[in-house]
Amino acid sequence: MTFVITERCVGIKDTSCVESCPVDAIKPTLDDEEFDDVDHLFIDPATCIDCGACVPACPSDAIFAEADVPDQWKHYIAKNAGYFAKAC
Ligand code: SF4
């Protein structure tokens, strides 16, 4: 399982979640060159340890456990994972 960032992050990119994550699973950070090029942040499913700390940190309520992602945002599961597949 993993956690997933969804539509409510688009255009917001608050980054409070980045600071809350104990394993640096959320990218890009404000220091990353690609920060301005993405429309929302992403969680690496291979790094996420399912702690849930990012959920209350998000002011947009954009983050869900994979199993709880609302139907209309299910495509964000692949979108989050795909971001890191491209980075490899
Ligand atoms: Fe990081 Fe925990 Fe959120 Fe996974 S659930 S992205 S490990 S804060």
Burial class (CB in 10 A: 0-12, 13-18, 19+), 79: middle
CA of 70 from ligand 1 middle (Å) equals: 18
Alpha carbon of 26 to ligand 1 centroid (Å): 7
For the entire predicted model, the pTM comes to 0.95
Taking the C-alpha atoms of residue 63 and residue 45, their distance in angstroms, rounded to an integer, is 13
Query: Rounded to the nearest whole angstrom, what is the distance from the C-alpha of residue 62 to the centroid of ligand 1?
Result: 13
In this predicted structure, the answer to whether residue 48 has a pLDDT above a threshold of 90 is: yes
In this prediction, residue 88 carries a pLDDT of: 52
Residue 36 has pLDDT above 60, yes or no: yes
Nearest CA to ligand 1 atom 3: 54
Q: 49: CA distance to ligand 1 center in Å?
A: 6
Q: Give the binding-site residues of ligand 1, using a 6 Å CB cut-off.
A: 3, 20-21, 23, 25-26, 43, 48-54
For residue 87, the number of C-alpha atoms closer than 13 Å in the C-beta half-sphere is 15
